[in-house]
Amino acid sequence: DTGVSQDPRHKITKRGQNVTFRCDPISEHNRLYWYRQTLGQGPEFLTYFQNEAQLEKSRLLSDRFSAERPKGSFSTLEIQRTEQGDSAMYLCASSLGQGVDEQYFGPGTRLTVT
Amino acid sequence: QKEVEQNSGPLSVPEGAIASLNCTYSDRGSQSFFWYRQYSGKSPELIMFIYSNGDKEDGRFTAQLNKASQYVSLLIRDSQPSDSATYLCAAGTYKYIFGTGTRLKVLA
């Protein structure tokens, strides 16, 4: 059983560029979450999907951020017109979507905006 | 504003001792509680979850939950240098709020 995978692991981009990250959840997991983590902080919820439906989006998420999970399997997170404040670790997690619903994290994508 | 509070540490304990990590949460509607371990530069790794009042043991780890006091703790017995990491507490229902983590240092 493979865990959650994320690609790329590292991304350096210039301010104003668009970036897209991919997450592949654990195969039988229905829920997929995106978090952002900056140094010294815990993961901060961005959005989550139940199958292909995006059920909640954080109010902290600006319109420059968009996420999709078109077939209920992998998901993408796009950031348009990146800003230096977007520099962070972007974490994807997945869960079965039932019971205690423990979430398992992928390795993360570290974004640096220069 | 739903919050999860943790002491940032560092908490230093000698090898072989018991490390005690604490967490409080503000949302009384929280149903599930988690402890994650995070090594520097890595993603969080789930080590324990608890949803009922009382204690839950798994190997060297014991999670404790007191919903009346809105308090969660993690005990690590026989601490090893490899336990040195940041421990994140999370609380919620389907969407979890994370604390900022407690940095644990186990001294050889």
Q: Do A31 and B99 touch (CB under 8 A)?
A: no
- Supply the pLDDT for residue A59: 87
Give me the tens of pLDDT residue by residue for chain B, a chain 108 residues long.
Answer: 779 999 998 999 999 999 999 999 999 999 999 999 999 999 999 999 999 999 999 999 999 999 999 999 999 999 999 999 999 999 998 889 999 999 999 999
How far is A48 from A70, CA to CA, in rounded Å? 13
Interface residue B99 vs chain A (CB under 8 A): yes
Query: What is the C-alpha to C-alpha distance for residues B96 and A91, in angstroms, rounded to an integer?
Result: 14
Q: From the CA of B15, how many Å to the nearest CA of chain A?
A: 25
> What contacts A102, CB < 8 A, 6 or more positions away?
A95, B32, B34, B46, B49
- CB contacts of A102 in chain B (<8 Å) are 32, 34, 46, 49
Closest listed residue to residue A42, CA positions, set A88, A6, A9: A88
**The tokens of A89 are what?**
């670790």
CB neighbours of residue A39 within 10 Å: 7
The answer for B 72-91 residues in CB contact with A (under 8 A) is: 88, 90
Helix and strand totals (H; E) in chain B: 0, 11
Asked whether the beta carbons of A36 and A98 are under 8 A apart, the reply is: no
Please say whether the beta carbons of A109 and A34 come within 8 A. no
Contact between A13 and A114 under an 8 Å Cβ cutoff? The reply is yes
Helix (H) or strand (E) holding A91: strand A88-95
CA–CA distance, B33 with B91 (Å, rounded to integer):
5
Dump pLDDT digits (tens) for A33-88: 999 999 999 999 999 999 999 999 998 788 999 999 998 899 999 999 999 999 99
- Predicted local distance difference test score (pLDDT) of residue B41: 93
